[in-house]
């Protein structure tokens, strides 16, 4: 009952309250990124798979510029990530616009993170079970290393969450996430601005 009914009600109420309370933070973050990026296109939208693989557009703050090399290709993430963007990521402020996704019903506050569409064909049958619930702004894997752990570990933690989803677990994940953000742990893979791409093996 909690996983498929009560959880959605809680998500709706808390995301609405969160958007109202955090509105000044959202505006301030948008202004800072607009100045740092040299562009007022401060939001990043990308198609991601949600519950049962249904596609939706995720909304995040844009923390990188659109700088390209001489070949016309985008520069590596670490070269496009501005100091302001790095700071915003360190506090996970770039994730706040996803409260709109939660309000709409595409996402949950707590659940497996929504990953890239091209990964869908690479999952094993067990790994694909992470899509049995709505993806979340934060999740069990984010409490155990975020971008610093391997893909195999992430997926194992995601599926464990699907099987053990409960109100008490979600509360635990929420407070652990606050603690992780405060300590700024696991933000990126060592030596990278974010993390490695999943190739079906790592």
What local confidence, expressed as pLDDT, does residue 189 receive? Answer: 54
- d(Cα 14, Cα 33) in Å, to the nearest integer? 26
Q: Tokens for 99, please give them.
A: 């409260």
- Stated pTM of the model: 0.88
Q: How many residues does the chain have?
A: 202
What local confidence, expressed as pLDDT, does residue 202 receive? Answer: 62
Whether 194 has a pLDDT exceeding 90, the answer reads: no
What local confidence, expressed as pLDDT, does residue 120 receive? Answer: 95
What local confidence, expressed as pLDDT, does residue 68 receive? Answer: 84
Strand 136-138 to 55-61 pairing: unpaired
What's the Cα-to-Cα distance from 169 to each of 117, 145, 192, rounded to whole Å? 27, 17, 31
According to DSSP, residue 81 is labeled B
Q: Using one digit for the tens of pLDDT, what is the confidence trace for 94-110?
A: 999 999 999 999 999 99
What local confidence, expressed as pLDDT, does residue 145 receive? Answer: 78
**Domain boundaries in the chain?**
2-183
Q: Using one digit for the tens of pLDDT, what is the confidence trace for 149-181?
A: 889 999 999 999 999 999 999 999 999 998 888
- d(Cα 76, Cα 190) in Å, to the nearest integer? 15
Is 56:131 a contact under the CB 8 Å cutoff? Answer: no
């Amino acid at each position: 009952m909690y996983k498929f009914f009560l959880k959605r009600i809680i998500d709706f109420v808390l995301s609405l309250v969160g958007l109202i309370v955090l509105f000044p933070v959202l505006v301030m973050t948008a202004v800072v990124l607009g100045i740092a990026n040299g562009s007022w296109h401060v939001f990043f939208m990308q198609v991601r798979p949600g519950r049962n693989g249904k596609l939706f557009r995720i909304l995040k703050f844009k923390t990188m510029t659109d700088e390209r090399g001489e070949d016309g290709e985008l520069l590596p993430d670490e070269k496009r990530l501005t100091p302001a963007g790095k700071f915003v990521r360190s506090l996970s402020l770039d994730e706040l616009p996803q409260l709109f996704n939660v309000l709409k019903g595409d996402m949950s506050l707590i659940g497996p993170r929504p990953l890239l569409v091209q990964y869908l064909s690479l999952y094993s049958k067990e790994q694909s079970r992470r899509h049995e619930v709505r993806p979340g702004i934060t999740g069990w894997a984010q409490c155990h290393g975020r971008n610093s752990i391997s893909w195999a570990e992430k997926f194992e933690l995601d599926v464990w969450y699907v099987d053990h989803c409960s109100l008490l677990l979600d509360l635990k994940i929420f407070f652990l996430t606050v603690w992780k953000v405060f300590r700024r742990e696991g933000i990126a893979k060592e030596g990278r601005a974010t993390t490695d791409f999943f190739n079906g093996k790592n």
